Amino acid sequence: MELTLLTFLPVIGIPLLWASKDVKVQRMIGAGVSGVVMLLSIWLWMNFDPNHTSLVGDGAYGFSHAWISVGDSFKINYAMGVDGISLLLILLTGVLGFLAAISAFTIKTKVRGFYAMYLLLLTGMLGTFVAMDLFLFYVFWEVMLLPMYFLIGIWGGKQREFAAIKFFLYTLVGSVLMLGAFLAIYFQLSEAFASPELIAQGLNAFSIPDILAHHHLIFEGNSTVRMVLFVALFIGFAIKVPVFPFHTWLPLAHVQAPTPISVILAGVLLKLGGYGMMRMAFPWFPDAVVTAWPYLATLAVVSIIYGALVALAQTDWKKLVAYSSVSHMGYVLLGLASLTEEGINGAVLQMFSHGLLSGMMFLCVGVIYEQAHHRDLNRFGGMLSIVPRYTFVAMIAFFGSLGLPGLSGFVAEMFVFFGAFKSDLPDAKIFTIVGTIGIVFGAVYILVMIQKVFFGKPKETPEHPYRDLSLREGITLWPLAIMALWIGIYPAPALNLIDPAVANWRRTYFAEHMPTPPEETGDLEAPDELDTGALPPDALRWDGLRLNGPGRDGSGRDSAGEEK
């Protein structure tokens, strides 16, 4: 019930927009509805027991009702559910949804249409995170596309039409591949679920939890088909993430979209790709993930470095931020594919952190772009002295993105690299070391950009002198800055939320597929160095996660070894 309310609240809000012809009232309604969504998502988080890791069932908010059944061929349920991972992303969606709605006050034309599309988009995103039935999931997944097409195409920049259709086509190709894989899985599993041993359990091959629980039955023993299905799903989600070489829609769409939509695109839409991998592609085909590890890691590392290098070459400020997303989402894939608890936690945390920081960066670019009407990095300069308050908050965003300790990006990236480094998968250390080069490039493009924009002397005088951060802009930026600082200094709330789900995810699906490490004697990586050196002191205080102790990780490995 809570999840239904959360998902459909934005859509219910759409007719309210017709209550008044006054643009200001419409803006208030749009922001108000997304504000309520944010409050609801916070409420969900406050009342959630992170140790509850079953997706549909009692305790959490999950439920499942019969929705559609066609003869004996389809049984589709209206099923929703969350765990810590999706709840963190829902929280991110709620917060960014509200702040972007406020930042959209700068939209001058067709305000009612904008908020109608915006709220529809919000429903699509929230629905995708909570849907626990493949059909329902697919409907929500596709429902996002159309509003996004219009939001970019109507309210975007000069090349908006091309950007909109390119985004639409790219994502649609990904999603039809996904649909094909879903149907193939459905039919095969329906047969498997009808076997004498399982028929009594009343399993449903569209139900995500049921598929998760019986993922090994998907084309059991046929590793080729399993690999093909994994690749189809992976490409479907990789386009959204986006992973190199499926990223080419992103720079165009991010740059052409209006500021609030860039925030949503970078902040939430990309996370849907990562979420899809965590919920479907990876846990359904753990054997394929282990087999494909060298390719996955290569794609991740290439994304990290390539994104950073291309960002370095940009003169368009917004494009730089857009390419930084390719780079930063590469960390997510690396962390996930490493299949270590640290790496996966890092990946989820990186999704959250990237949502905050890229959202902030796009907002920051938007503030200046609105006044300067251009985004050419070579024409700015000396912002530090002109707009100090703006510079202060912008620095949090950009340094966070660079990976400065004390901000959320650092914690997430460190976890990813720890995880990847200690992974038992082949050549994990080499991939990690190469990946860390991306951090250096990341620092370079951010620092060069900061130098060009904020330091030095102004290169040209704008028509109107730059004004400092307005109250509205402050309201959109500061909450994100505070959250980025909070996660950077004390990540426990986020980690406590996701770690039980992550640990359960890893243990349930991957424990038996991990290669046996060469030696079983104790911990391979010197844990002391990690504990004292790299982590901020506060990060060690939470009690959910044991980094390198003989706990969960070691025992899982042991049991796998014994089985073999």
Q: Does 157 bind other proteins (CB under 8 A)?
A: no
Q: Does 184 bind other proteins (CB under 8 A)?
A: yes
Binding range to other proteins, per CB under 8 A, among 165-173, 270-278, 438-446, 481-489: 165-173
Of residues 165 and 290, the one with the C-beta less far from other proteins: 165
Q: Which of 146, 227, 372, 443 binds other proteins (CB under 8 A)?
A: 146
What span, in angstroms and rounded, lies between the C-alpha atoms of 85 and 495?
10
- Token duo for residue 177: 């591949």
Query: Minimum CB separation from other proteins for residue 232, in Å?
Result: 8
Chain positions 199 to 238 lying near other proteins, rule: CB under 8 A, are 228
Q: Does 164 bind other proteins (CB under 8 A)?
A: yes
Binding range to other proteins, per CB under 8 A, among 171-179, 437-445, 463-471, 527-535: 171-179
Of residues 42 and 179, the one with the C-beta less far from other proteins: 179
Q: Does 145 bind other proteins (CB under 8 A)?
A: yes
Q: Which of 12, 19, 68, 430 binds other proteins (CB under 8 A)?
A: 68
Name which of 337, 339, 334, 342 is nearest 527 in CA terms: 342
Of residues 160 and 215, the one with the C-beta less far from other proteins: 160
Q: What is the dihedral of CA 184, 290, 436, 318, to 10 degrees?
A: 0
- Token duo for residue 116: 């109608």
For residue 529, the tally of other CB atoms under 10 A from its CB is 10
What span, in angstroms and rounded, lies between the C-alpha atoms of 468 and 188?
60
Of residues 176 and 312, the one with the C-beta less far from other proteins: 176
**Residue 222: HSE in the Cβ half-sphere, 13 Å Cα cutoff:** 11
What span, in angstroms and rounded, lies between the C-alpha atoms of 135 and 79?
10
3-state DSSP of 262-285: HHHHHHHHHHHHHHHHHHHHHHHC
Query: Minimum CB separation from other proteins for residue 160, in Å?
Result: 7
- Token duo for residue 351: 């999704």
Binding mask 87-126 for other proteins (x = CB under 8 A): -----------------------x----------------
Q: Does 512 bind other proteins (CB under 8 A)?
A: no
Q: Which of 5, 16, 42, 179 binds other proteins (CB under 8 A)?
A: 179
Helices (H), 339-387: 341-372, 383-386
Of residues 163 and 428, the one with the C-beta less far from other proteins: 163
What span, in angstroms and rounded, lies between the C-alpha atoms of 367 and 271?
24
Query: Minimum CB separation from other proteins for residue 142, in Å?
Result: 5
Q: Which of 71, 196, 518, 522 binds other proteins (CB under 8 A)?
A: 71
Go through 341-367 and write b for each residue having 16 or more CB atoms within 10 A of its CB, e for each that does not: bbbbbbbbbbbbbbbbbbbbbbbbbbb
Q: Does 328 bind other proteins (CB under 8 A)?
A: no
Q: Which of 129, 150, 415, 417 binds other proteins (CB under 8 A)?
A: 150
CB 43 within 8 A of CB 49: no
Query: Minimum CB separation from other proteins for residue 475, in Å?
Result: 31
Q: Does 180 bind other proteins (CB under 8 A)?
A: yes
Q: Which of 154, 290, 475, 540 binds other proteins (CB under 8 A)?
A: 154
Q: Which of 105, 138, 230, 398 binds other proteins (CB under 8 A)?
A: 138
Binding footprint of other proteins, residue count (CB under 8 A):
35
What span, in angstroms and rounded, lies between the C-alpha atoms of 195 and 387?
69
For residue 74, the tally of other CB atoms under 10 A from its CB is 14
Query: Minimum CB separation from other proteins for residue 197, in Å?
Result: 20
Of residues 12 and 430, the one with the C-beta less far from other proteins: 12
The answer for residues whose C-beta is within 8 angstroms of residue 440's C-beta and 6 or more apart is none
The answer for residues whose C-beta is within 8 angstroms of residue 387's C-beta and 6 or more apart is 466, 467, 468, 469
Q: Does 172 bind other proteins (CB under 8 A)?
A: yes
Query: Minimum CB separation from other proteins for residue 71, in Å?
Result: 5
Question: Residues 170, 171, 172, 177: is their CA dihedral positive or negative?
Answer: positive
Q: Does 317 bind other proteins (CB under 8 A)?
A: no
Of residues 224 and 521, the one with the C-beta less far from other proteins: 224
Q: Which of 23, 25, 42, 176 binds other proteins (CB under 8 A)?
A: 176
- Assign 67 to helix, strand or coil: strand
Q: Which of 23, 25, 183, 384 binds other proteins (CB under 8 A)?
A: 183
Query: Minimum CB separation from other proteins for residue 271, in Å?
Result: 21
The answer for residues whose C-beta is within 8 angstroms of residue 556's C-beta and 6 or more apart is 506, 507, 511, 514
Of residues 180 and 479, the one with the C-beta less far from other proteins: 180
Query: Minimum CB separation from other proteins for residue 306, in Å?
Result: 26
Cα 154 → chain centroid? 25
Query: Minimum CB separation from other proteins for residue 70, in Å?
Result: 5
**Residue 302: HSE in the Cβ half-sphere, 13 Å Cα cutoff:** 12
What span, in angstroms and rounded, lies between the C-alpha atoms of 238 and 503?
23
Of residues 179 and 448, the one with the C-beta less far from other proteins: 179
What span, in angstroms and rounded, lies between the C-alpha atoms of 54 and 131?
14
Binding range to other proteins, per CB under 8 A, among 67-75, 282-290, 378-386, 518-526: 67-75
Name which of 75, 69, 86 is nearest 3 in CA terms: 86
Query: Minimum CB separation from other proteins for residue 113, in Å?
Result: 8
Binding site for other proteins (CB under 8 A): 68-71, 73-74, 76, 110, 135, 138-139, 142-143, 145-146, 149-150, 153-154, 160-161, 164-165, 168-169, 172-173, 176-177, 179-180, 183-184, 187, 228
